[in-house]
Amino acid sequence: METNRMLRPAEAAEALGVSLASLRRLATSGRLVTVRTLGGHRRYREDDVMAVRRWLIRNGHLVENAA
């Protein structure tokens, strides 16, 4: 299911369970695509964030919540 919802950096970091600094590193490394608003603010596509979350879990960098 594809969504077009755009997440603010704090929302994306929370969804991934990482800090804002780690989120920026993921974007700088090319692992996560950053979209800039007209005002220059960073946004992240929810689908991209969820794909990175799956990658982090699959590679043992993130433990999936049991809840």
* Predicted pLDDT at 66: 41
DSSP string covering 1-67, please? -----EE-HHHHHHHHT--HHHHHHHHHTTSS--EE-TTS-EEEEHHHHHHHHHHHHHTTSSPPP--
The predicted structure's pLDDT at residue 65 = 62
**What topology is assigned to 6-58 in CATH?**
Multidrug-efflux Transporter Regulator; Chain: A; Domain 2 (1.10.1660)
Whole-number Å distance between alpha carbons of 67 and 31 = 26
Query: For 3-38, what is each residue's pLDDT tens digit?
Result: 689 999 999 999 999 999 999 999 999 999 999 999
Say if residue 66 is exposed, middle or buried (CB neighbours under 10 Å; 0-12, 13-18, 19+).
Answer: exposed
- Domains of the chain: which residue ranges? 6-58
| pTM assigned to the model | 0.83
